[in-house]
Chains A and B, each alone.
Chain A
């Protein structure tokens, strides 16, 4: 594994999140019926940050939930790389809400597919939208994001690593090349 390039630094991530928050508010015409659901692990932190940005802009709080999609994955063998199943924490009703799913990287689309299945079990949302910090391409399912922080075209042997202050100690997005 070797780091190839740093795509986003702390300040850029901050500005990007603020822009995405504005876009979410613009599309949804404010905070009415709006809620954010972050996909564990890093999507959960990003959802909280987006919630804070929205509050800063509109002076209104939107509900923020956390989704663990381990139990909705389509391949049990892939789970072992993250062996602990964490809790889903959505303590508000999703019925008739406009839900914005938040994740760090959009890649094959399989995580988002699983997240949508999970969301459906929690209630019938009015709409489900998708916000990601990075879209790196290579979709395997017909899924696209409504809000994208940055499009980063990548090769298959590269991965995009999003590092965030909360779990990783610093904010940055880098492209890593697998050997």
Chain B
């Protein structure tokens, strides 16, 4: 935006027009500075008939604030360059300056759709640092609430996915499901979204009557409710035809892209950390690892529905096998684990959630690295998208189910 001030007129440096007229073309797709890397040079050198299109950061369907620069040839996407950082909060730095208990609430809002898994990974890493044995009842409660959170996340995915393909109705149904679960978890944890429920050595509070009665109510009709919701989508010819063959990835490529979770299993690789590297009480539970071989958007969508059914099985078993006993371990207010390193990885609704904690013997973690699957999967969009139509950009991105809070940390 150019200033209208005539030449020689004094313009205050505080004038917003001056700021916008700066040489920093924030909203120009082509950066004014010389390309910094080989890849940037390649991306910003247009071929014959190619043009750039800026999408975001405030785009209704980017699931958060994400800016993507698309290189187009006609209506076909040639290449993309995602620009991240709009939600970057420096959580890892904040965690280095908080004590061990405080970090749990810092990592909570990373992935706000499935917060319990964000908490679980660092808590598990700390427990390894402290050589702590978690009470079995606490482990069962963690699995139970975690699987509920997984269903809530997948239910929302179904709505989002349809929304990004142009269907408005399914998200309204998806929210019925999700709302019931978050209300249930609110009865258990006190919060609807950012639960802050897991504690080092256990959980904050035992199962209560409100939670159990809501859960019982919901479980009695969950299967049929989910069946009805999926029928709305699975038998929808528009959705199925559109999603089939969209953004195909094969197993070896997915592994090279470090993909995990449903996105990897949709390519036929049966890698689920609950089985591949068992943790908590998952070895005692009976459930299957659904896989699909197509590797396209439809497979990623259908796989999540299969996972919901498995999660329902796990919840049933948790309720049956729930042992009695304490749900927390007595720990001092300030923890000082002996110096060492610990890594914990677990299977969340989007894939591998991990935490690498280093202790230097003080009451604050020396370093806490959070691994978030959304960050990894968003990267793979660059491999899936080329050759597809512009209108399919959001469909492919939505099928990978990234959450920007986790991407930007």
Question: Bound pair: A and B?
Answer: no
Chain B residues packing against A (C-beta within 8 Å) = none
